[in-house]
């Protein structure tokens, strides 16, 4: 069965969700408050780099996928309302729900018209949020979740850089539901996808997402802690040690093993805020998490740790070349990137002569951060101009960087380059 769907928020998750449902034959309206983003999308371009999503946009734009500036009208026609807006970290680590509330405010006045719809939270929200924050928010408006409309959550597990494939070929679809009718609608909507479908309680749906992200964060901080111990002991080939660890057949060559590898800390939009939100939620419910607080502490220590390695090799007048600005390779997302944290520390300590290069993210980085630094147009150029080279993001093209730096010091924050001699 084909449905009409409104999607609020057209970022990585919302745009991918909207186009995936369009691909399956549904009629999808997309709405975003960011005018610049809407303008870019309407011109048939992506506001970020995402392989496959660009083609899907061109294929469905103004056919099954329509960008609307009239969200109420779209909702009136819709069977589903998917909320895919951001849920940034609040002051004390908690998930800030202001964009979810503002999205709900846009359509709440039109959903008591007798038509049964299902509101689906795809944004990442900590366990108990749908039941204890969102449903009461709707009830406070005089609405009756469960009888007038369904409320569910449907956490998203896609990886940036692989958004389209992860959505179309999802390895699991999880829906936390509060009413049978909404559950049946979601089951029917997702029957067009060949992924296992799990309908669980509202809190379980949310919990499963945090189970995933906090485990990834823990594996990264574990690896970083081990790399610090190895540095302290000395004489340990860290890259080789982790590569041998991955040969254990219990990993089964799983890509998951790439998270059990040291670097300069996790960044990006999700792991930092989601781990902090899990701690904040747990504290608010009366349990102080022992491991997760340390996972965050180890992660927070990594930029300073790496900056220390850099300043050991650089004079304040030296030009420091930073390779990689996105939070991970194959992405131009610079949110919470390690490079920004390391550059900030270096500049605070008086190392102001910095040049940076990223294969995709020079512009997004200079737009996002107001650092007074130079940008190189290639790794070759960066290496020529730098006295000390620092590899921060493990782009494939940096693997052979040692061939470009001659005798200059290289600080490989990702234990990534070939023929490594650790600093
Ligand atoms: N990026 C990821 O890899 C990823 C993966 C899984 C889950 N998530 C979660 O999905 C959610 C969205 O993440 P994202 O990366 O797509 O964020 P994003 O910042 O790229 O996109 C969010 C969009 O929502 C829009 N928005 C804000 N308020 C709005 C409103 N009232 N109405 C309509 N649009 C509004 C913003 O303008 C923005 O374009 C977050 O909760 C995130 O944690 C993200």
Q: What is the pLDDT of residues 14-49, one digit of tens each?
A: 999 999 999 999 999 999 999 999 999 999 999 999
Asked if residue 251 and residue 109 are part of one domain, the reply reads no
Length of the chain: 423
CA of 191 to the centre of ligand 1 (A): 25
Give which of 423, 223, 393 is closest to 308, Cα–Cα: 423
Establish how many alpha carbons lie within 13 A of residue 164's alpha carbon, considering only the half-sphere containing its beta carbon: 14
Q: Is 32 in the pocket of ligand 1 (CB under 6 A)?
A: yes
Asked if residue 393 and residue 247 are part of one domain, the reply reads yes
Q: Is 254 left (phi over 0), alpha (psi -120 to 50) or beta?
A: beta
Please give the mean pLDDT across all residues of the chain: 96
Q: Please answer whether residues 373 and 389 qualify as being in contact, where contact means their C-beta atoms are separated by less than 8 angstroms.
A: no
Q: Which pair of structure tokens corresponds to residue 227?
A: 């790399």
SS3 183: helix
Q: Is 89 in the pocket of ligand 1 (CB under 6 A)?
A: no
Residue 423 lies in a domain: no
Strands 354-357 and 320-323: parallel
Residue 202 lies in a domain: no
Q: Which pair of structure tokens corresponds to residue 332?
A: 């131009």
Nearest-atom number in ligand 1 for the CA of 37 is: 39
CA of 96 to the centre of ligand 1 (A): 12
Which of 7, 10, 12 to mutate to test ligand 1, by most ligand atoms within 8 A of the CB atom? 12
Given 160, 195, 230, the domain boundary residue is 195
* List 163, 270, 383, 413, catalytic entry: 270
Q: Is 152 in the pocket of ligand 1 (CB under 6 A)?
A: no
Condensed to tens digits (0 to 9), the pLDDT of residues 304-332 reads 999 999 999 999 999 999 999 999 999 99
With a cut of 50, say whether residue 372 has pLDDT above it. yes
Residue 222 lies in a domain: yes
Give which of 84, 83, 43 is closest to 67, Cα–Cα: 43
Separation CA 36–CA 39 (nearest Å) = 5
Condensed to tens digits (0 to 9), the pLDDT of residues 77-93 reads 999 999 999 999 999 99
Q: Is residue 419 very low, low, confident or very high in pLDDT (cuts 50, 70, 90)?
A: low
Residue 106 lies in a domain: yes
Residue 200 lies in a domain: no
Residue 132 per-residue DSSP state: I
Q: Is 156 in the pocket of ligand 1 (CB under 6 A)?
A: yes
CA of 366 to the centre of ligand 1 (A): 21
Q: Is 342 in the pocket of ligand 1 (CB under 6 A)?
A: no
Q: Is 270 a catalytic residue?
A: yes
Asked if residue 217 and residue 173 are part of one domain, the reply reads no
Location of structure tokens 């689906």: 120
CA of 10 to the centre of ligand 1 (A): 7
CA of 87 to the centre of ligand 1 (A): 7
Nearest-atom number in ligand 1 for the CA of 122 is: 10
Asked if residue 384 and residue 261 are part of one domain, the reply reads yes
Given 138, 166, 195, the domain boundary residue is 195
Asked if residue 233 and residue 170 are part of one domain, the reply reads no
With a cut of 50, say whether residue 66 has pLDDT above it. yes
Q: Is 333 in the pocket of ligand 1 (CB under 6 A)?
A: no
CA of 11 to the centre of ligand 1 (A): 5
Condensed to tens digits (0 to 9), the pLDDT of residues 131-185 reads 999 999 999 999 999 999 999 999 999 999 999 999 999 999 999 999 999 999 9
Separation CA 18–CA 7 (nearest Å) = 6
Which of 7, 9, 41 to mutate to test ligand 1, by most ligand atoms within 8 A of the CB atom? 9
Give which of 320, 292, 291, 326 is closest to 306, Cα–Cα: 320
Q: Is 12 in the pocket of ligand 1 (CB under 6 A)?
A: yes
Asked if residue 277 and residue 154 are part of one domain, the reply reads no
Q: Is residue 1 very low, low, confident or very high in pLDDT (cuts 50, 70, 90)?
A: confident
Q: Is residue 422 very low, low, confident or very high in pLDDT (cuts 50, 70, 90)?
A: very low
Q: Is 87 in the pocket of ligand 1 (CB under 6 A)?
A: yes
Q: Which pair of structure tokens corresponds to residue 36?
A: 């610049």
SS3 361: coil
Establish how many alpha carbons lie within 13 A of residue 85's alpha carbon, considering only the half-sphere containing its beta carbon: 19
Given 167, 195, 223, the domain boundary residue is 195
Q: Please answer whether residues 409 and 313 qualify as being in contact, where contact means their C-beta atoms are separated by less than 8 angstroms.
A: yes
| Rg, the chain, Cα only | 23
Condensed to tens digits (0 to 9), the pLDDT of residues 177-226 reads 999 999 999 999 999 999 999 999 999 999 999 999 999 999 999 999 99
CA of 314 to the centre of ligand 1 (A): 39
Is residue 220 packed enough to be buried (19+ CB in 10 Å), middle (13-18) or exposed (0-12)? buried
Q: Please answer whether residues 383 and 352 qualify as being in contact, where contact means their C-beta atoms are separated by less than 8 angstroms.
A: no
Separation CA 98–CA 119 (nearest Å) = 17
Asked if residue 350 and residue 224 are part of one domain, the reply reads yes
Asked if residue 218 and residue 150 are part of one domain, the reply reads no
% of the chain residues with pLDDT over 90: 96
Which residues of 17-157 form beta strands (DSSP E)?
27-31, 65-67, 80-83, 117-121, 149-153
Total domains present in the chain: 2
Separation CA 365–CA 321 (nearest Å) = 15
With a cut of 70, say whether residue 346 has pLDDT above it. yes
Q: Please answer whether residues 38 and 112 qualify as being in contact, where contact means their C-beta atoms are separated by less than 8 angstroms.
A: no
If you take atom 35 of ligand 1, which residue's CA is the nearest one? 9
Cα distances from 280 to residues 9, 27, 296, 314, in angstroms, run 25, 38, 12, 39
Asked if residue 189 and residue 214 are part of one domain, the reply reads no
Which residues, 6+ apart, have CB-to-CB distance to 39 below 8 Å?
A: none
CATH of the domain at 182: 3.40.50.720
Calculate mean pLDDT across residues 102-107.
Answer: 98
Q: Range of 112's domain?
A: 4-195
Q: Is 186 in the pocket of ligand 1 (CB under 6 A)?
A: no
Residue 420 lies in a domain: no
Q: Is 166 in the pocket of ligand 1 (CB under 6 A)?
A: no
Residue 419 lies in a domain: no
Asked if residue 158 and residue 14 are part of one domain, the reply reads yes
If you take atom 39 of ligand 1, which residue's CA is the nearest one? 11
Asked if residue 252 and residue 159 are part of one domain, the reply reads no
Which pLDDT does position 251 carry in this prediction?
83
SS3 7: strand
Q: Which pair of structure tokens corresponds to residue 270?
A: 């999700």
Residue 201 lies in a domain: no
Asked if residue 24 and residue 64 are part of one domain, the reply reads yes
SS3 405: coil
- Kindly report the CA angle at 29 between 191 and 15, in degrees rounded to 5? 75
Strands 117-121 and 149-153: parallel
């Amino acid at each position: 069965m084909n449905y009409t769907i409104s999607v609020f928020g057209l970022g990585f998750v919302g745009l991918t969700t909207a186009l995936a449902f369009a691909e399956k034959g549904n009629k999808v309206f997309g709405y975003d408050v960011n005018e610049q983003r809407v303008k870019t999308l309407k011109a048939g371009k992506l506001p970020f780099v995402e392989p496959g999503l660009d083609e899907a946009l061109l294929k469905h734009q103004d056919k099954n996928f329509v960008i609307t500036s009239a969200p109420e009208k779209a909702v009136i026609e819709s069977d589903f309302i998917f909320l895919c807006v951001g849920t940034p970290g609040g002051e004390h680590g908690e998930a800030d729900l202001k964009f979810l509330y503002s999205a709900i405010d846009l359509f709440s006045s039109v959903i008591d018209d007798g038509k049964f719809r299902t509101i689906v939270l795809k944004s990442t929200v900590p366990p108990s949020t749908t039941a204890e924050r969102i449903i009461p928010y709707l009830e406070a408006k005089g609405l009756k979740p469960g009888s007038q409309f369904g409320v569910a959550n449907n956490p998203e597990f896609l990886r940036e850089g692989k958004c389209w494939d992860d959505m179309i070929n999802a390895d699991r679809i999880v829906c936390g539901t509060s009413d049978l009718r909404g559950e049946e609608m979601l089951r029917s909507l997702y029957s067009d996808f060949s992924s296992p479908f799990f309908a669980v309680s509202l809190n379980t749906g949310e919990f499963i997402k945090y189970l995933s992200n906090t485990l990834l964060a823990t594996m990264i901080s574990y690896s970083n802690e081990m790399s610090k111990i190895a540095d302290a002991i000395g004489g340990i080939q860290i890259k080789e040690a982790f590569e041998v660890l991955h040969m254990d057949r219990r990993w089964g060559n799983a890509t998951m093993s790439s998270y059990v590898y040291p670097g300069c800390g996790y960044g990006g939009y999700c792991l930092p805020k989601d781990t902090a939100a899990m701690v904040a939620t747990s504290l608010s419910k009366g349990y102080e998490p022992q491991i997760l607080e340390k996972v965050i502490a180890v992660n927070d220590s990594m930029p300073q740790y790496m900056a220390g390695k850099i300043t050991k090799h650089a004079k304040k007048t030296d030009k420091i070349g930073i390779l990689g600005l996105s939070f991970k390779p194959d992405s131009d997302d610079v949110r919470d990137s390690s490079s920004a944290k390391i550059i900030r520390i270096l500049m605070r300590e008086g190392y102001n002569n910095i040049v940076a290069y990223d294969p995709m993210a020079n512009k997004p980085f200079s737009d996002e951060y107001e650092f007074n630094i130079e940008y190189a147009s290639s790794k070759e150029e960066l290496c020529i101009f730098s006295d000390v080279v620092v590899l921060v993001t493990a782009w494939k093209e940096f693997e052979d960087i040692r061939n470009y730096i001659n005798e200059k010091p290289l600080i490989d924050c990702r234990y990534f380059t070939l023929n490594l001699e650790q600093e």
